[in-house]
């Protein structure tokens, strides 16, 4: 992951929302660069996360976890299951950014506890787990509030953050736009975030629901992408199979962003 990002290439993660180890293990073989295990917006549990880490050992896609809030103890819990990256939502000021960094690194730089017996058993690199984890765990901070846009310079300048990820849907809501993605106010905010991240040497991320999105956003400087959920991919597969047979899905009043 880091080598691809350093080379200017993109990484694409499938979003895992169901407590199904078969889904995660299969997804890790399909070509995605990582699995985005969604623990903020789904019922995914700590136990199922550990099972997914065990089931994907030796497979190409590492497991990342999005925790519900930027807290040191939440980062500690998922890292001790063996994940290789942590995604923190609502990082809207320097204090939250600092908590994200502290939770992912050992002292003296951070505040992570040394009881990582489970993580050691599944970590892919030989040698000292503690040194390797400090060097390789990816810290992703999600910018999704208007307050974060106002404080983006202090957030982006925080040592230890690797990726500034723009949660474009929640950011739109925070700006009073109710999720709309074609508003000048949202584009202005995104431009400000992009500039601050690039000035501070941080990689940029955002959701991308299609190959066209990935190509377009990559040309704009984004490299770290959250892609569809397993349910979204199931819907695409069903549509490809059924529509040529004249079978269409029932219309839905609401859909999620990704």
DSSP H or E segment with residue 243? none
Q: Reduced to 3 states, what is the DSSP secondary structure of residue 85? A: strand
How far is the C-alpha of 126 from the C-alpha of 26, rounded, in Å? Answer: 25
Give the tokens for residue 233: 């991919």
Q: 153: how many CB neighbours lie within 10 A of its CB?
A: 13
Within 8 A by CB and 6+ apart from 156, the residues are 164, 193, 196, 197, 199, 200, 202
List the catalytic residues: 41
CA distance linking residue 230 with residue 237, whole number of Å:
10
Measured between alpha carbons, how far is residue 145 from residues 90, 149, 168, 169 in Å?
Answer: 7, 7, 9, 10
Phi, psi of 107 (to 5 degrees): -60, 150
Alpha carbon 79 to its chain centroid, in Å, reads 14
């Amino acid at each position: 992951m880091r080598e691809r990002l350093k080379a200017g290439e993109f990484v694409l993660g499938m979003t895992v929302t169901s407590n199904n180890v078969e889904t995660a293990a299969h997804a890790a073989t399909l070509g995605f660069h990582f699995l985005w295990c969604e623990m903020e917006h789904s019922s995914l549990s700590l136990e199922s996360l550990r099972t997914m880490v065990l089931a994907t050992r030796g497979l190409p896609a590492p497991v990342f976890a999005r925790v519900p809030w930027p807290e040191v103890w939440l980062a500690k819990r998922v890292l001790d299951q063996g994940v290789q990256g942590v995604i923190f939502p609502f990082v809207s000021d320097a204090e939250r950014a600092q908590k994200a960094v502290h939770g992912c690194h050992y002292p003296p730089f951070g505040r992570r506890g040394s009881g990582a017996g489970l993580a050691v058993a599944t970590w892919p690199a030989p040698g000292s787990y503690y040194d390797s984890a400090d060097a390789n765990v990816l810290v992703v901070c999600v910018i999704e509030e208007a307050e974060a846009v106002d404080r983006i310079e202090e957030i982006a300048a925080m040592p230890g953050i690797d990726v500034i990820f723009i949660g474009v849907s929640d950011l739109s809501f925070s700006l009073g736009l109710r999720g709309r993605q074609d508003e000048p106010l949202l584009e202005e905010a995104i431009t400000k975030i992009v500039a601050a991240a690039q000035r501070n040497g941080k990689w940029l991320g955002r959701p991308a629901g299609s190959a066209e999105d990935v190509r377009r956003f990559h040309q704009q400087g984004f490299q770290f992408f959250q892609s569809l959920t397993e349910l979204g991919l199931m819907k695409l597969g069903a549509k490809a199979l059924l529509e040529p047979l004249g079978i269409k899905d029932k219309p839905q009043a609401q859909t999620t962003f990704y």
